[in-house]
Amino acid sequence: MRLCAFADEASNDLEGQIQALKRNGIDLLEIRGVDGQNIKEISYDKIKEIKKRLDSENISVWSIGSPVGKYKLSDNFDKQLDEIKRLSEYAQILDCERIRMFSFFSKDKNEVFSRLEKFCEVVPKSIIMCHENEKEIFGDDIDGCLQIHKQFDRIKMVFDPANFVQCDVDTKEAWEKLNQYVSYMHIKDAQEDKRVVRAGYGIGNIEYLVSEYNKNGGEVLTLEPHLMEFCGLKDLENGQSVRGVATYKDTNEAFDAGVMALKAILDKLNLRY
């Protein structure tokens, strides 16, 4: 298995993110926030600088952790189309094949699908759009995800166990019905009370899912620990705070704890990383 991570959960700035990845032996980044800016807000020049700096440390960008589709239907859609076009260009600059996306805070299938279709029209076919089963969006349960992936061949899945737990969806059932559409997995776990915990400490069946993902040919796991508040988190979580269980000294300690928990699962499964 190859490990990837949202390193902005360890540090706000790029140098801190690089150090967090390197001390944990991770060479893939799912880029989401740098220096207090969401990926959608970063300039072309800065993206090129980020690429150069990551190359110097032999770190590659696996996916762009974009907020595309994490909007209400009442929000400006033309602006969102501009965002995904620009992020597609960023993906090419970063030598990245994937853009993480969502399916809007709505259950209006016709309108949601109309917008997803427009995303498909403007994103180059060389880029894989990866839909995450985020809470409260159209595709936050098994049925919603199935409808999306059966309709849009170009949209693959980012399987997030904790999000399913927080939507009262059994992750084993979700995997059985959705695994054929999965491009990669987010490693995030949650307890029955919906609080996020280290991988293997919740009811997300992480060990089972990682094992099945590996058997299915999956190779990359993106750690998204969400164990502690970090820069921009409330914006990402629709204004909600993280209600963690354990207490950590700082975001770096929380990030490292998340990595250690995932590695413990991989060791138990005898999977190299």
Average pLDDT per block of 10 residues along the chain, 273 residues long: 98 97 98 96 98 98 98 98 98 98 98 98 98 98 98 98 98 98 98 96 98 98 90 55 72 97 98 97
Q: Give the per-residue pLDDT at 29.
A: 98
Quick one: pLDDT at residue 207?
Answer: 98
Largest CA distance in the chain: 48
Mapped onto helix, strand or coil, the DSSP state of residue 1 is coil
Contact 197, 190 (CB under 8 A): yes
Read off the tokens for 75: 């929000």
> DSSP alpha helices (H): ranges in the chain?
14-23, 44-56, 77-93, 109-122, 142-151, 161-166, 171-178, 206-215, 233-236, 251-268
Residue among 134, 115, 111 at smallest CA distance from 123: 115
Tokens of 221: 């796991």
Task: Determine the pLDDT at residue 229.
Answer: 72
What tokens were used for 4? 């990837």
Radius of gyration of the chain (CA): 17
Measured at the alpha carbon of residue 163, what is the angle toward residues 153 and 129, in degrees to the nearest 5?
25
The whole-angstrom separation of Cα 171 and Cα 235 is: 26
Q: What is the pTM of this model?
A: 0.94
CA–CA distance, 192 with 2 (Å, rounded to integer):
29
Are the C-beta atoms of 20 and 11 separated by less than 8 Å? yes
CA distance 7 to 28: 10
60-64/155-159 β-pairing: unpaired
**Looking at domain 2-268, which CATH architecture does it have?**
Alpha-Beta Barrel (3.20)
Q: How far is CA 260 from the centre of its chain?
A: 19
What per-residue confidence (pLDDT) applies to 238?
55
Backbone angles phi, psi at 247, to 5 degrees: -110, 135
How far is it, in rounded angstroms, from Cα 13 to Cα 34? Answer: 5
